[in-house]
Amino acid sequence: MDESDRTPYVYEFTYSSGPGSREIFECKYVQPDEALNRFKKILRLTENPFDFKILVHDEATGEESSFQIRGSVDEMFEKFRVFLETSTGYEFHEEEAVQESILDEIHFDSMSNFEKMQMVIYASFKHGKFSSLDVAEIYETTFGEKMPKSTASTYLARMWDDGEGDVERYGNRTGYTYRLKTELNQVQSDIKRAEKILSTFQIQRE
């Protein structure tokens, strides 16, 4: 997580996933919009959500806010959004709702290996240089799939695109290293998108 995005909030969700079954899910230090996104994923994982008790703890001030909600998925989602606004002071915008709907439509099985590798690079290598081996290792850790170093090298060459792409290349054929052009607005946008997409992917895997 980028330190600039870190918050003092700890979110704890206690809910019924079925008759007589209680589950607890916790996420820490994320922005309220990400907490809302994770809450939505939990709702979708429960076939028949009954009720939720939500606790938001501010580690900076020691203050806690709790809220118990029940109802349909849409009703609980909207109530939690309002609760987050009142307990954290965060304001949600329509743009975020649109972005959420875009993320919902993403199917990782339909993404090419090149697209998934791009997600890994944007989300994992914002600072400093990296190699094709670094990319292959993070790719395998993230998706549980092996990527040969030679394939990563080929894809990185596509991203470099003779100096016109989103990465800079250093060295020679015996050992290239790369750097994301984070000074470009489009790259910054791609980084944020990749972080949200991979966060969604991690929630789906849990």
Helix (H, G, I), strand (E, B) or coil at 31: coil
200-to-7, 53, 73 alpha-carbon distances in Å = 19, 22, 18
Which residues, 6 or more positions from 46, have their beta carbon under 8 angstroms from its beta carbon? Answer: 15, 16, 17, 18
Question: Greater confidence, 131 or 15?
Answer: 131
CA distance 191 to 119: 8
Mean pLDDT of the chain: 81
Q: Give residue 161's pLDDT.
A: 86
* Fold held by 3-104: ERH-like fold (3.30.2260)
Question: Greater confidence, 76 or 201?
Answer: 76
If pLDDT is split at 50, 70 and 90, which confidence band does 3 have? low
105-161 confidence digits (pLDDT tens) = 455 566 788 888 998 999 999 889 999 999 999 999 988 899 999 999 999 999 998
Do residues 171 and 177 make contact, with C-beta atoms less than 8 angstroms apart?
yes
List the chain domain ranges.
3-104, 108-205
Backbone angles phi, psi at 47, to 5 degrees: -65, -35
Q: Give residue 101's pLDDT.
A: 45
For residue 77, with 0-12 CB atoms within 10 Å meaning exposed, 13-18 middle and 19 or more buried, which class applies?
A: middle
Highest mean pLDDT pick, 24-28, 69-73, 100-104, 148-152: 148-152
Query: Is the pLDDT at 198 greater than 90, yes or no?
Result: no
Do residues 23 and 14 make contact, with C-beta atoms less than 8 angstroms apart?
yes
20-48 confidence digits (pLDDT tens) = 667 788 888 888 988 888 887 777 665 55
Q: Smallest Cα–Cα separation from 78: which of 42, 48, 36, 16?
A: 36
Which CATH code, of 3.30.565.10, 2.40.50.100, 1.20.120.530, 1.10.10.10, is assigned to 108-205?
A: 1.10.10.10
**Is the whole model's pTM more than 0.95, yes or no?**
no
Sign of the Cα torsion 139, 141, 146, 148 reads: positive
